[in-house]
Amino acid sequence: MEKILILDFGGQYNQLIARRVREQHVYCELHPHTMSLEEIRRFGPIGIIFTGGPHSVYLDSSPRPDPGVFRLGVPILGICYGCQLLAQSLGGLVTAAQDAAAREYGKTETVFDPTCSLFRGLPEKSVTWMSHGDYMARVPEGFRLAAHSSACPTAAICDEQRRFYGVQFHPEVDHTVCGREMLHNFLYLVCGAHGDWTMADFKRRSVEELRARVGKGRVLLALSGGVDSSVLAALLSEAVGEQLCCVFVDHGLLRKDEGDEVEAAFSGRALDFRRVDASGRFLERLRGVTEPEQKRHIIGEEFIRVFETEARKLGAVDFLAQGTIYPDVIESGLGQSAVIKSHHNVGGLPDTVAFKEILEPLRLLFKDEVRQLGRELGLPESLVSRQPFPGPGLAIRVIGEVTAEKLALLREADAIFREEMAKAGLDRIASQYFAVLTDLRSVGVMGDGRSYDRAVALRSVQTSDFMTADWSRLPYELLDRVSVRIVNEVKGVNRVLYDITSKPPATVEYE
């Protein structure tokens, strides 16, 4: 399989680079820049991409790859910091921009040299997304200028003989109008890719690898009923059959009627499905806890302890399987990336677990790729397109301490929102939508009297990969209906808010 290696230097768009490469039907992985030369050779990339990052390459403390990477004979594309790194490492000179005009941020009109392979077939002029305060003052020997803007004569450089390319802008973001075409040119014209990354091929290889890895062992799947774990259940069922046991932990943090719905969805399938009521122990562990990261770690550890208990009941169980996906891994901290929030199935895991190994066959897939895999496995569209629901459940949608009273209130408000979204036909258009019980109490007037009750926030977003997201422009009439119903039907709520913040700067969930 053709593979592109993305070396991570801490940029905010790194996961988006991976997504854009996968969209071109070329497999890629994001790895720390500290990856050794031997590991890179074993990975066997047909091309390497250096990401952006917040550092200045001329400082001794700035991150650098093994210098041997430049002698592998593999094409390299440097983006922003990666471009400056390429220049500085090969004899060029990068300095802080002395003139404020040379610092570029945001949409910038850029002129391209169409004779450069990276810009073949593109317009000679287009808009790119710049974000840099440093400047390539001298281009390395063997390189030539391939793009410029009014403020920056070195917006792109190339050495066609060694197949090294650098762009000062970000082709992976939508604001760069021809960014996808530039990446396509790098992958297909420069690296010689053929586009062999398909879900059918991923399914076949995954089934083969799981059979070889599991052997005659038994697998316990942490089944939540969400898209990721449901797809994984189908994949494991095809790979190991009766060696699989699916355990659904009802942690008391589910949406209204969700536990019964999950049980109904899986009870008719040829799976060893077991539902465990652990709501009491989860609520007890969360008593008095208000800090979001602590919540996630407690829930992650408690999940493992429940699964260990169930494994002992089953006898010898060798593997624990989880529906971890790539955004979980990235947000929990990958390479140079900051920890945004520890996902209960990644950063929330305890140090020791009573299983031989943890299986995570989906950990390199984005959400939309998981859905594609589900269709490849023959799952119904109603399950594949289901609204995402976080593993920690409503615990991270109740701001502050989690109590049974707060959970009951939130379940009702959330159910009303979901019901009205479905009635309006927006449940399949919004990528994710839900209610949040804030920690805010405010004065209101209800029944000619004063109230001092809670505020519920509504959240709805549009996204393709859940790495970035835009808030949904829901009709005012719908928001009005939801607000009126919640305030009238949910005792203890006197105010409804609508969140219009995108990701970034926010995340999809509140905690």
Catalytic residues, by residue number, are 80, 170, 172
Burial class (CB in 10 A: 0-12, 13-18, 19+), 264: exposed
345 touches 323 (CB < 8 A): yes
Q: Two tokens at 353?
A: 């677990």
What is the distance between the alpha carbons of residues 302 and 103, in angstroms, rounded to a whole number? 49
What is the distance between the alpha carbons of residues 53 and 50, in angstroms, rounded to a whole number? 9
Q: Where would I find the beta strands (DSSP E) of 142-199?
A: 144-149, 156-159, 164-167
Q: Two tokens at 232?
A: 């994984």
Residues 6+ apart with CB under 8 A from 284: none
Amino acid identity of residue 45, one-letter, is P
| Sheet bearing 144-149, strands edge to edge | 27-32, 3-8, 47-50, 76-79, 164-167, 156-159, 144-149, 104-112, 125-132
Q: Two tokens at 72?
A: 């592998």
Residues 6+ apart with CB under 8 A from 210: 235, 236, 239, 240, 359, 361
What is the distance between the alpha carbons of residues 216 and 240, in angstroms, rounded to a whole number? 9
CA 329 from centroid of its chain's CA atoms: 7
> What are the DSSP calls for 11-36, one per residue?
-TTHHHHHHHHHHTT-EEEEEETT--
What is the distance between the alpha carbons of residues 372 and 390, in angstroms, rounded to a whole number? 20
What is the distance between the alpha carbons of residues 32 and 53, in angstroms, rounded to a whole number? 12
Amino acid identity of residue 350, one-letter, is P
What is the distance between the alpha carbons of residues 447 and 452, in angstroms, rounded to a whole number? 13
* C-beta neighbour count of 161 within 10 angstroms: 8
Beta bridge partners of 129: 107
Q: What are phi and psi of 13, to 5 degrees?
A: -105, 15
What is the distance between the alpha carbons of residues 165 and 78, in angstroms, rounded to a whole number? 6
What DSSP designation does 169 have? B
Residue 62 region, left (φ>0) first, then alpha (ψ -120 to 50), else beta?
Answer: beta
What is the distance between the alpha carbons of residues 223 and 229, in angstroms, rounded to a whole number? 5
As a whole number of Å, the CA-based R_g of the chain is 25
